[in-house]
Amino acid sequence: MLFQPSNISPDEINGSGTVDLTENLTVTWQVSGDSAMTAYQIDFYSNNAASSPLYSTGKISLQTPFWGVNYKGEQQYYSATVSAAALAGAGMTNGSEYKLLITQWWSASDSIRQTTASLFLGRAAPSVAINAIPSPLTVSTYSFTGTYSQAQGDALKWVRWQIAEVNTSTSTVGTPFLDTGKISGTGELRVDYAGLFTGTTYAIKLSIETINGVDADTGWVQFTVNYSVSPATGQVTACQSADGSSVYVAWDMVESAQAYTIFRQGAEENTLFKIADVDSTTGALRDYGARSGESYRYYVFPTGVLSYLTEPMVSEPVAVQFWSWTIIEAAKNTDGTFSTIGVYKFRYGSGGVSEGEFSNNNSPALQKNFTPYPVRQPEAANYLTGSVSGFIGSISGTKDYTDTLAQARALRALSLSTNTLFLLDPKGHFINIHTSEPISMSINHKSPVMPQTLTLRWVEVGTAENVSLTSIPGGDFWPVDEIIFTSLRINPLTGSLMWTRPEEYLGSVLSMDSGGKLIQTTSDAFTAAGMAMDSATGQVTATLPEGGAS
């Protein structure tokens, strides 16, 4: 015998209840029982109180009996197609609700009928398109727009935009570098993007879903960008900051630039990730979104009214390895980027900084049954929790440890902060967190310096993927004493090797002149330091004014 048909489509109960009745209708269901299905019948009705009958396929006998489980033990679904002409002839049109009932036979006289009807809605397929894009596009910033229509006026459930580069040699679309995700609650089909490179072919796609669960997309629409740029006229310097939580990036200013756009590229990445737009008076920033264990190049584009003015100024690769645990407090900007407003570092502890174990908090349910093995039902939860514990202070150049009550108060205040917090650790984790339990503090009174140890238990509260997190001079947070660029040069008069130490985070440049001599370009902000080699020990020492260490 057979059981009632199940897992039927279309049926609003399982999310498949919207169909276009101008197309052939495919009905599928699961066949269950210890017999094969030998015939079936599908009856259609209006979804009204009388359940007015509209159309029936009649009893259709199968040439080959259909088993619900095949020889491999795999569940099978039967599929039947009802023509659009038959549906139209029965008066079934888009814009109305209908229901169907399936009857299955396993012998000439034995049958079973579905007791609860499957409800479905007739709706015309939605139409979505991207409005015409100029060819070629002659700007670096553009607002892409789209149009949507649906015959019955269905509203949108969500919209999604994606942009990717196209490999013109293989005509393949790469991984999207912009993905808005599914945006709900809007009917405005628009996405703005700043950072289109001249000489590059891109592809853009718009996807939607209606409130009745019907998906549609435009497919990938390609376009090419082409505008004039001058050769790069400056340099970019990038290095890991001494504070152990960011990468410092500085660039030469371009006189005609109205702004600068800064990108970062990882060693294993083939696309650029935009981290900031800054005004024409800004010549440096700190990148707090860089991850420990990675290597990056930084690209700086001087920007005009509608496009980049020059080719990018590009830094040398900078390898990043942080050795502190850092909690970064940040404010979200209107463009979705984040600005750093506070940095809290843990470098030391009794026995070292303790990070504790991570948990993803997914506890699947295990249901016992009549087989030797349980049925595993996983949860949807997949967020991290953990803790970090360590001294809150720092050790000076003279190896003296210090911390303050003000530091302790600032850290405890994180429990009350409505800002976004990120955790950065030496392994390369970069996690969007907030406190999950009270912040605790202890003091070691046995030590003369009475170090304070903080323990912060945290929970992951959002994604940190593709996060832009920076600070700029004059912003809410800009340390002034944690970066030192050093350069070596040869004194042209004495031939001795000289070491320069900058102020104001300026760098010096070493180069070779036409005569093959090593020369240095610097500024008045540098203080020269003499270097000499001890003939007895072979040790090179540098003499720095104003407290410089040898």
In the chain, what are the domain boundaries? 6-122, 127-225, 236-319, 325-471, 487-543
The CATH superfamily label for domain 127-225 reads Immunoglobulins (2.60.40.10)
* Residues with pLDDT less than 70, the chain: 243, 397, 480-550
Q: How does strand 118-122 pair with strand 236-240?
A: unpaired
Question: What span, in angstroms and rounded, lies between the C-alpha atoms of 304 and 229?
Answer: 10
Beta strands in 131-187 (DSSP E): 141-149, 156-167, 172-173, 178-179, 183-184
In this prediction, residue 229 carries a pLDDT of: 87
In this prediction, residue 417 carries a pLDDT of: 95
Q: How does strand 18-19 pair with strand 118-122?
A: parallel
Cis, bond preceding 312 (omega within 30 deg of 0): no
- DSSP for 2-39, please give it: BPPPEEEES-GGGT--EE-TTSPEEEEEE--BSS-EEE
In this prediction, residue 485 carries a pLDDT of: 46
The pLDDT tens digits for 93-126 are 999 999 999 999 999 999 999 999 999 999 999 9
In this prediction, residue 143 carries a pLDDT of: 96
CATH class of 6-122: mainly beta
Right CATH for 236-319 from 3.30.365.10, 1.20.120.450, 2.40.50.100, 2.60.40.10: 2.60.40.10
Based on the number of CB atoms within 10 Å of its own CB, is 178 exposed (0-12), middle (13-18) or buried (19 or more)? middle
The pLDDT tens digits for 244-255 are 789 999 999 998
In this prediction, residue 491 carries a pLDDT of: 57
In this prediction, residue 317 carries a pLDDT of: 93
Longest dimension (CA), the chain: 112
Residue 374 is encoded by which pair of tokens? 């349980």
- C-beta of residue 438 within 8 angstroms of C-beta of residue 408: no
In this prediction, residue 504 carries a pLDDT of: 37
Q: How does strand 401-402 pair with strand 394-395?
A: antiparallel
Same fold, 127-225 and 236-319: yes
In this prediction, residue 262 carries a pLDDT of: 95
Right CATH for 325-471 from 2.60.120, 3.30.70, 2.40.30, 1.10.1740: 2.40.30
Q: What is the pTM of this model?
A: 0.68
Helices (H), 198-274: none
- C-beta of residue 200 within 8 angstroms of C-beta of residue 225: yes
